[in-house]
């Protein structure tokens, strides 16, 4: 005999399934609430009470939506104004049963994310299910990261050399103004996100920055070298005559940072000193510094 075919077994099975669902709802890390089509509360968990800071005694089967939102309205969580006006306005919005996602910063300093969806049973509107997720720590972490990034950008901007930072996906994450100035890179090249390093290589190759040759072959060679993620140090003289000292170092996360320093004046001075030494050798004149010491 199959127990599922008996009324008793069916009732027990339904009761067990309901118990399972209750356990799932109770253990959810988010708050959850289900209001029926008349906005009476039918299902909730402790997270719903905790996230919204509701009095536990007020949250009960069949309590109306308007009674619950009156609590945060009285605390001023919907802004200044008449409490009943806020309650009426928000209740009317709820009666539209429209899906929504919003964040709300509460006076306590906590921030929660509210996500609501209409609930349909057998194709008919049966209410509204909403989850409430406390995202305070996430928002604090994001704010800290934003501050750190701003600090990093400030530090990088104060460096007299050009700086670029490329992530493991070979997308340019950060450059300073000196990078655009020293390498004559138009700001428009950074507008389309993500900014792939290949775009920079191709821009330079097509304008002859790396010398004569097929741009596609040059870009392919540069990208292959870049993917190896090896530290590098070399000097490069640009078509405009400026000589750059280029130093790149890999980062722990797979990206790398590159610093470009204009050493044109130093190279010009070295060339001048070399020419003087060569002239002295040809003419047989004594070392200029020694001669100066004797005068």
Give the pLDDT confidence of 115-160 residue by residue, as tens digits: 999 999 999 999 999 999 988 888 889 889 899 888 888 888 888 8
Helix (H) or strand (E) holding 17: helix 7-27
Nearest to 226 by CA among 261, 250, 259, 252: 250
If phi over 0 gives left and psi between -120 and 50 gives alpha, with beta otherwise, what is residue 51?
A: alpha
DSSP alpha helix (H) spans, 95-132: none
Encoded tokens for 154: 């400030």
Q: Average model confidence (pLDDT) for the chain?
A: 86
Query: How deeply is 250 buried, as exposed, middle or buried, from its count of CB atoms within 10 A (0-12, 13-18, 19+)?
Result: middle
Longest dimension (CA), the chain: 123
Lowest mean pLDDT among 36-45, 179-188, 259-268: 259-268
Long-range contacts of 254-259 (CB under 8 A, 24+ apart): 254/167, 254/168, 254/229, 255/165, 255/166, 255/167, 255/168, 255/173, 256/165, 256/166, 256/229, 257/163, 257/164, 257/165, 257/166, 258/163, 258/164, 258/165, 258/166, 259/159, 259/161, 259/162, 259/163
Sorted by sequence, the CB contacts under 8 Å of residue 288 that are 6+ apart come out as: 276, 280
What is the distance between the alpha carbons of residues 132 and 92, in angstroms, rounded to a whole number? 20
Lowest mean pLDDT among 52-56, 172-176, 237-241, 278-282: 278-282
- Give me the pLDDT at residue 152, please: 83
pLDDT at 1 over 50: no
**Residue 182: beta bridge partners?**
none
What is the distance between the alpha carbons of residues 182 and 110, in angstroms, rounded to a whole number? 46
Find out whether 182 and 260 touch, Cβ atoms under 8 Å. Answer: yes
pLDDT at 166 over 80: yes
Q: What is this structure's pTM?
A: 0.56
Three-class secondary structure of residue 163 per DSSP: strand
Find out whether 61 and 41 touch, Cβ atoms under 8 Å. Answer: yes
Find out whether 113 and 91 touch, Cβ atoms under 8 Å. Answer: no
């Amino acid at each position: 005999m199959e127990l599922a075919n008996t009324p008793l077994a069916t009732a027990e099975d339904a009761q067990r399934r309901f118990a399972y669902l209750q356990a799932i709802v109770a253990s959810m890390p988010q708050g959850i609430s289900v209001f029926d089509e008349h906005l009476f509360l039918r299902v909730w968990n402790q997270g719903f009470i905790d996230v919204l800071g509701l009095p536990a005694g007020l949250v009960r089967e069949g309590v109306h939506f308007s009674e619950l939102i009156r609590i945060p309205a009285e605390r001023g969580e919907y802004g200044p104004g008449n409490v009943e006006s806020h309650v009426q306005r928000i209740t009317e919005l709820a009666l539209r049963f429209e899906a929504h996602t919003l964040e709300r910063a509460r006076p306590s300093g906590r921030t929660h994310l509210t996500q609501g969806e209409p609930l349909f049973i057998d194709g008919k509107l049966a209410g509204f299910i909403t989850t409430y997720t406390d995202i305070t720590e996430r928002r604090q972490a994001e704010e800290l990261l934003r501050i750190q990034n701003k600090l990093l950008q400030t530090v990088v901007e104060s460096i007299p050399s050009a700086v670029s930072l490329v992530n493991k996906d070979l997308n340019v994450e950060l450059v300073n103004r000196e990078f655009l100035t020293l390498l004559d890179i138009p700001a428009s090249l950074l507008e389309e996100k993500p900014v792939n390093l290949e775009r920079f290589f191709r821009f330079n190759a097509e304008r002859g920055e790396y010398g004569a040759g097929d741009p596609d072959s040059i870009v392919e060679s540069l990208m292959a070298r870049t993917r190896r993620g090896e530290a590098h140090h070399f000097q490069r003289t640009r078509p405009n005559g400026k000589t750059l000292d280029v130093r790149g170092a890999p980062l722990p996360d797979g990206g790398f940072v590159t610093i470009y320093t204009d050493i044109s004046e130093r190279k010009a001075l070295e060339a001048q000193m070399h020419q003087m030494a060569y002239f002295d050798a040809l003419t047989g004149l004594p070392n200029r510094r020694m001669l100066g010491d004797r005068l």
